[in-house]
């Protein structure tokens, strides 16, 4: 399946590249622009505050499009993000994907999801700066039109947003009753982009982002490992590990009706506590007969950890057919 | 070795294949070259940290893909990409074979996000979980994009396939 695509990429690969000097010149220009941009942004921020207008992009529109509705009448918040009066349903007309309403010192900031599947329509996008900002604190709150959705929040340091190897932390969001949901701080204190991912019980999801500076250390997620071996070949992923430099994995998959398969040793590239392993040696579009047993020997910086999982018993909801692995000894956790 | 020399070596090694990937993903070799250079600029700026990574080229690819997607969304090019790509393909790619052109046109008809997951997963052999992290979307989203892309391209991908 890969060959025609690889051929296409090969054909599009140029025989030469532009001289590196041009790249260096580009870097210098970018630095100059950034210096100028910082000055202009400072002036613009002062102007925005003085006119009471918040500018941001939450729907992929041009960054200068004003698209945030700040509603001071819906709720009031303390500087730590705790509402002094419980807000009712947020002001949403039911059209399009349901937005989240980030609680701010001034009320609520409406943030449209950049990825969603809702009402028979799916749209995929990317988070785009500038973001709505939640007040500094240890809990950030948002309101949502529905009261029965489940949310998860993923934290990425704003300073590492362009970093291909940024550490990301995912924590569950607490439903505080009514239309209010609370995001707890995660990791060390700092300024993060928080991606909120919500799922409806009857199907449907939204993903929206805001910026938040946490003032105290928060939750450090436990290491998590998952494995699957059909549809896309072998995939093994581990995240929220302590920093590791070298990682290898050997995986044995045992089936009830055919010979076991062995993968590896496969070398992984650890990156900010996450490491993925993949093998396309086997590629099976047919769902295997259950139960399928996985045994993973993961070696992190010379230390062996043995993980096991049984599919479908350990299948991860909404991430089928991946199964969660249990390790002995426990995987090394990141503590900041 | 100084920073520029070290980064120039990465550029010499990874630049051409990166431009190839971005060209097919985004539909324009000119845009691809510009995005690749922007990504190398980011590499220059972050070299003190990134140089210690085991997979520097993976970092460069991640940044480049994010820049490409961000750029196309910013400029609303994604909506116009199909006719642009179809128009440019013939002139920008030297001597395409008929089967390749057919696949290229079919690929161009896909949304950029579907093209991205397809190429990263099938050409660069990145697992779904890593593509999800790279594009900052849920794994389920990557799987559904892959599934839609595969379904759309299935007849062409199977032509000449070794699997």
* CA-wise closest residue to B152 among B97, B100, B93, B108: B108
Substitution target in B54, B65, B99, B146 with the highest count of A β-carbons within 10 Å is: B54
Determine, for residues A278 and B127 on separate chains, whether the beta-carbon distance falls below 8 Å: yes
| Per-residue pLDDT, A82 | 44
Substitution target in A19, A113, A164, A205 with the highest count of B β-carbons within 10 Å is: A164
Counting the structural domains of chain B, the total is 1
A117 or A312, which is more confident? A312
Q: Flag whether B63 is in a domain.
A: yes
What ipTM does the predicted assembly reach? 0.77
* CA-wise closest residue to A295 among A236, A231, A240: A236
d(Cα A230, Cα A182) in Å, to the nearest integer? 37
Determine, for residues B156 and A23 on separate chains, whether the beta-carbon distance falls below 8 Å: no
**Pick from A1, A11, A195: CB nearest B93:** A11
**Pick from A237, A278, A319: CB nearest B140:** A319
Work out the percent of chain A whose per-residue pLDDT is above 70: 74
Token pair listed for A199: 């799922």
Among 2.60.40, 2.40.30, 3.40.50, 2.30.30, name the CATH number for the domain at A224-328. Answer: 2.60.40
Determine, for residues B136 and A318 on separate chains, whether the beta-carbon distance falls below 8 Å: no
Determine, for residues A115 and B55 on separate chains, whether the beta-carbon distance falls below 8 Å: no
Determine, for residues A1 and B46 on separate chains, whether the beta-carbon distance falls below 8 Å: no
pLDDT tens-digit series, residues A317-331: 766 778 999 999 999
Q: Best-predicted range by mean pLDDT among A195-204, A229-238, B103-112?
A: A195-204
Q: Which residues of chain A neighbour B54 with C-beta distances below 8 Å?
A: 245-246, 269-271
Is residue A82 exposed (0-12), middle (13-18) or buried (19+ Cβ within 10 Å)?
middle
Q: Flag whether B47 is in a domain.
A: yes
pLDDT tens-digit series, residues A82-108: 444 456 788 888 888 899 999 998 889
For range A265-289, the mean pLDDT: 75
List the pLDDT tens digit at each of the 163 positions of chain B. Answer: 688 889 999 999 999 999 999 999 888 888 888 889 888 988 888 888 888 887 888 889 988 888 887 666 544 333 333 333 333 333 333 334 444 557 777 888 888 888 888 888 888 888 888 888 887 777 777 887 887 788 777 766 655 433 3
**Pick from B50, B140, B157: CB nearest A318:** B140
The answer, yes or no, to whether residue A244 has pLDDT greater than 50, is: yes
A287 or A111, which is more confident? A111
For range A250-267, the mean pLDDT: 91
B61 or A43, which is more confident? B61
pLDDT band at A302 (very low <50, low <70, confident <90, very high): very high
Task: Determine contact, residues A213/A136, Cβ cutoff 8 Å.
Answer: yes
Is residue B151 exposed (0-12), middle (13-18) or buried (19+ Cβ within 10 Å)?
exposed
Q: Identify the weakest region by mean pLDDT among A85-89, A128-132, A237-241.
A: A85-89
Determine, for residues A277 and B159 on separate chains, whether the beta-carbon distance falls below 8 Å: no
Q: Which residues of chain B neighbour A205 with C-beta distances below 8 Å?
A: 138, 140
Q: Identify the weakest region by mean pLDDT among A200-209, A284-293, B128-137.
A: A284-293
The answer, yes or no, to whether residue A200 has pLDDT greater than 50, is: yes
Determine, for residues A23 and B140 on separate chains, whether the beta-carbon distance falls below 8 Å: no
d(Cα B72, Cα B79) in Å, to the nearest integer? 9
The answer, yes or no, to whether residue A44 has pLDDT greater than 50, is: no
Determine, for residues B127 and A237 on separate chains, whether the beta-carbon distance falls below 8 Å: yes
From B68's Cα to the closest Cα of chain A, the distance in A is 11
Determine, for residues B156 and A6 on separate chains, whether the beta-carbon distance falls below 8 Å: no
| Per-residue pLDDT, B151 | 78
Q: Flag whether B163 is in a domain.
A: no
Is residue A176 exposed (0-12), middle (13-18) or buried (19+ Cβ within 10 Å)?
middle
Mean predicted lDDT score pLDDT of chain A: 78
| Per-residue pLDDT, A287 | 67
Q: Which residues of chain A neighbour B73 with C-beta distances below 8 Å?
A: 60, 125-126, 128
pLDDT tens-digit series, residues A51-76: 232 223 333 332 222 233 333 333 33
Count A/B contacts: CB-CB distance under 8 Å: 189
Q: Which residues of chain B neighbour A26 with C-beta distances below 8 Å?
A: 37-38, 41
For range A113-122, the mean pLDDT: 78
Determine, for residues A232 and B61 on separate chains, whether the beta-carbon distance falls below 8 Å: no
From A87's Cα to the closest Cα of chain B, the distance in A is 30
* CA-wise closest residue to A69 among A79, A84, A58, A80: A58
From B106's Cα to the closest Cα of chain A, the distance in A is 11
Pairing relationship of beta strands A205-214 and A132-137 according to DSSP bridges: parallel
Question: pTM for the complete prediction?
Answer: 0.57
From B84's Cα to the closest Cα of chain A, the distance in A is 16
Determine, for residues B24 and A8 on separate chains, whether the beta-carbon distance falls below 8 Å: yes
d(Cα A207, Cα A185) in Å, to the nearest integer? 18
Residue that has been written with the tokens 């070696």 in this structure: A299
Task: Determine contact, residues A40/B59, Cβ cutoff 8 Å.
Answer: no
Residues 6 or more apart in contact with residue B135 via CB below 8 angstroms: A126, B65, B66, B69, B113, B116, B117, B142
**Pick from A22, A115, A128: CB nearest B141:** A115
Enclosing domain of residue B134: 3-158
d(Cα B94, Cα A146) in Å, to the nearest integer? 54
Domain boundaries, given as residue ranges, for chain A: 21-51, 59-214, 224-328
CATH number (domain holding residue B119): 1.20.140.160
For residue A267, the cross-strand partners are: A248
Q: Is A232 helix (H, G, I), strand (E, B) or coil?
A: coil
Determine, for residues A270 and B42 on separate chains, whether the beta-carbon distance falls below 8 Å: no
* CA-wise closest residue to B143 among A197, A318, A151: A318
């Amino acid at each position: 399946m890969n060959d025609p695509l690889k051929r296409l990429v090969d054909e599009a690969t140029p025989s030469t590249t532009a001289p590196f000097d041009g790249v260096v010149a580009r870097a210098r220009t970018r630095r100059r622009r950034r210096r100028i941009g910082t000055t202009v942004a400072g002036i613009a921020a002062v102007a925005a505050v003085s006119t009471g207008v918040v500018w941001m992009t939450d729907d992929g529109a041009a960054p200068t499009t004003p698209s945030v509705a700040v509603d001071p009448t819906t709720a009031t918040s303390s500087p730590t993000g705790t509402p002094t009066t419980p807000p009712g349903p947020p002001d949403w007309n039911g059209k399009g994907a349901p937005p989240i309403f980030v609680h701010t010192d001034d009320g609520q900031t409406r943030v449209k999801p950049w990825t969603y599947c809702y009402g028979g329509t799916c749209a995929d996008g990317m988070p785009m700066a500038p973001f709505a900002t939640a007040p500094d604190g240890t809990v950030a709150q948002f309101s949502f039109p529905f009261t029965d959705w489940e949310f998860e929040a993923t934290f990425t340091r704003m300073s590492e947003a362009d970093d291909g190897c940024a550490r990301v932390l995912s924590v569950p969001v607490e439903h505080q009753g009514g239309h209010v949901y609370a995001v707890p701080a995660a990791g060390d204190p700092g300024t993060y982009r928080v991606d909120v991912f919500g799922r409806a019980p009857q199907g449907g999801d939204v993903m929206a982002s805001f910026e938040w500076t946490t003032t105290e250390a928060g939750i450090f997620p436990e290491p998590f490992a998952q494995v699957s071996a059909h549809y896309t070949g072998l995939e093994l992923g581990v995240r929220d590990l302590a920093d590791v430099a070298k990682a290898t994995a050997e995986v044995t998959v045992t089936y009830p009706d055919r010979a076991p398969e062995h993968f590896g040793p496969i070398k992984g590239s650890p990156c900010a506590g996450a490491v993925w392993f993949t093998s396309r040696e086997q590629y099976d579009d047919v769902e295997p007969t259950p139960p399928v047993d996985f045994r993973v020997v993961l070696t992190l910086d010379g230390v062996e950890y043995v993980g096991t999982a049984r599919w479908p018993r350990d299948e991860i909801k909404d991430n089928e057919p991946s199964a969660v692995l249990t390790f002995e000894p426990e995987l090394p956790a990141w503590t900041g | 070795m100084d920073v520029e020399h070290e980064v120039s070596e990465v550029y010499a090694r990874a630049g051409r294949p990166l431009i190839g990937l971005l060209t097919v993903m985004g539909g324009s070799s000119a845009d691809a070259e510009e995005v690749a250079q922007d990504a190398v600029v980011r590499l220059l700026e972050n070299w003190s940290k990134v140089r210690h990574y085991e997979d520097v080229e993976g970092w460069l690819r991640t940044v480049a893909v994010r820049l490409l997607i961000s750029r196309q969304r910013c400029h609303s090019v994604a909506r116009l990409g199909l006719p642009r790509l179809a128009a440019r393909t013939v002139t920008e790619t030297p001597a395409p074979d008929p089967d390749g052109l057919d696949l290229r046109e079919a690929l161009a008809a896909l949304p950029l996000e579907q093209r991205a997951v397809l190429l990263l997963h099938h050409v660069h052999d990145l697992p779904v979980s890593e593509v999800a992290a790279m594009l900052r979307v849920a794994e389920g989203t990557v799987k559904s994009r892959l599934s839609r892309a595969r379904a759309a391209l299935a007849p062409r991908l199977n032509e000449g396939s070794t699997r």
